[in-house]
């Protein structure tokens, strides 16, 4: 069910928060755009164009956690997955995705060291 009221999106992993203007797959004022998932969307504050919008995040398709679209919090692979579920079901993702995630883990460990 699409919602048009102004509410607050909060990522349950990183705490990113922003008001959103729409939740669903067909943002208002856009021409024939259908998103691949139900998303929390806000108008692009950096553009005067009414058709421009930003996707803030979505719900994890496994655990329904509200997560932002940032790569530190979620992964979109046919559906949205929070990184906790990605780690729990790591072996069920294709090898290429596993390799990319492993590289990302190594670079984030190196940045912390």
pLDDT exceeds cutoff 70 at 110: no
In a domain, 70, yes or no: yes
**What's residue 50's pLDDT?**
78
In a domain, 64, yes or no: yes
Structural domain count of the chain? 1
**What's residue 1's pLDDT?**
47
Confidence of residue 6 (pLDDT cuts 50, 70, 90): low
In a domain, 38, yes or no: yes
Cβ-contact 90, 83 below 8 angstroms: no
Other CB atoms within a 10 A radius of the CB of residue 65 amount to: 20
In a domain, 16, yes or no: yes
pLDDT per residue as tens digits for the range 44-96:
888 888 778 999 999 999 999 999 999 999 999 999 999 999 999 999 999 98
**What's residue 52's pLDDT?**
87
Reading the block at residue 4, the tokens are 């048009």
Tell me the residue range of the domain where 106 lies.
7-112
pLDDT per residue as tens digits for the range 9-54:
999 999 999 999 999 999 988 888 899 999 999 988 888 887 789 9
**What's residue 60's pLDDT?**
97
In a domain, 1, yes or no: no
Cβ-contact 67, 38 below 8 angstroms: no
Cβ-contact 74, 60 below 8 angstroms: yes
In a domain, 2, yes or no: no
Q: What is the mean pLDDT of residues 97-102?
A: 86
In a domain, 59, yes or no: yes
| 91 CA to centre of own chain | 21
């Amino acid at each position: 069910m699409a919602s048009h009221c102004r509410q607050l999106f909060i990522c349950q992993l990183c705490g990113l928060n922003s008001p959103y203007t729409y939740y669903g797959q067909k943002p208002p004022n856009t021409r024939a755009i259908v998103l691949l998932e139900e998303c929390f969307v806000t108008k692009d504050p950096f553009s005067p164009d009414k058709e421009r919008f930003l996707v803030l995040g979505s719900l994890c398709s496994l655990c329904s956690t509200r997560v932002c679209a940032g790569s530190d919090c979620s992964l979109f692979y046919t559906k949205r997955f929070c990184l906790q579920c990605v780690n729990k079901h790591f072996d069920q993702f294709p090898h290429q995705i596993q390799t990319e995630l492993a590289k990302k883990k190594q670079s984030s460990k190196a940045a912390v060291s």
